[in-house]
Structure 1
Amino acid sequence: MQRRIIVTGGPGAGKTALLAALAARGHVHVPETARAIIRDRKSRGLSPRPEPEIYTTDSERDQSFAESVRVHDTLCAWYRRCGYALVAVAPGSVDERCEQVLRHVDL
């Protein structure tokens, strides 16, 4: 049986790096799209987000840390309401986080 997992979290949580590490180890994945959407919006002269007053931390990630935490909490609440079991990945290097994910899903 093929297992599917969702990698989620607020901006700056390390999702892109984790997905790249899993892909480098040969695991099939769907790339995250948030940064591509932000690049596309900016290339068309649009704000990266609907709220242009958000503090910009880099050219693509425009949320403050507090906003990132709020997004994370909102995502977690939504996934729980939908019946998903969430597993927090402890802070660490990309390789350490990748290993945590793989141990959890027994890959």
Structure 2
Amino acid sequence: MMSTSERFVVITGGPGAGKSTLIEALGRHGFACVPEAGRAIIRDQTAIGGRALHQADSLLFAEIILAWEMRSYRHAAGQTGTVFFDRGIPDVVGYHLLLGRPVPPHVSAAARLFRYHPRVFVAPPWQQIYAHDRERTQDFAEAVRTHDAMVDAYTRHGYELITLPRDGVDSRVAFVRAQSPGVGDGSVR
């Protein structure tokens, strides 16, 4: 039987690289999926006039994301089979790196305590599909810096990174299924 952390597969990277589209497609294939915290927090904070936003109070934004991700992890533990996460707790480490700030000890502790499968999928920056929307206001250069910070964060925490191909969503689904535990034609080794 697979442990909880071995069932939890993260897809990370910078904004606008196709992570959420891939997660949604995996969900349509019947897999349990955990959506990205950041977008929901931005929508909620904007709706209520809150300050927990990247542009207003980035540290408060990071704290709310951390709390959301820990709750999502615990909630997913009650599900069976592989669970795909649109970002994970080490992304909060990466966010602090992106900001050029020291990573708070409690954030590092959370990244050590809440573990995912040792192999993490990374969506590389992809300018051809990058687009702004209501929640994604970063320019492409910041998207690249975010990608690099996430790679650094997951590497620091001992994860092996698997770069997703810059290809259509169906190809990405097939790639992830072939590389994921208990899914499709292959398994993560």
- With normalisation by structure 2, the TM-score equals 0.51
* Mapping of residues 72-87 of structure 1, within 5 Å: 72-87=147-162
Q: Does 1:65 align with 2:140?
A: yes
Residues paired across the two proteins, number: 104
The residue that corresponds to 1:37 in the other structure is 41
Identity over the aligned pairs, expressed in percent? 43
Residue identity matched to 1:87 = I
The residue that corresponds to 1:100 in the other structure is 175
List runs of 5+ in structure 2 lacking aligned partners. Answer: 57-130, 184-189
The residue that corresponds to 1:20 in the other structure is 24
Q: What root-mean-square deviation, in Å, do the aligned CA atoms of Structure 1 and Structure 2 show?
A: 2.1
List runs of 5+ in structure 1 lacking aligned partners. Answer: none
Residue identity matched to 1:95 = D
The residue that corresponds to 1:88 in the other structure is 163
CA offset at residue 46 of structure 1? 4.6
Q: Does 1:49 align with 2:54?
A: yes
**CA distance in structure 1 between the partners assigned to 2:30 and 2:137 by the alignment:** 31
- With normalisation by structure 1, the TM-score equals 0.86
CA offset at residue 13 of structure 1? 1.1
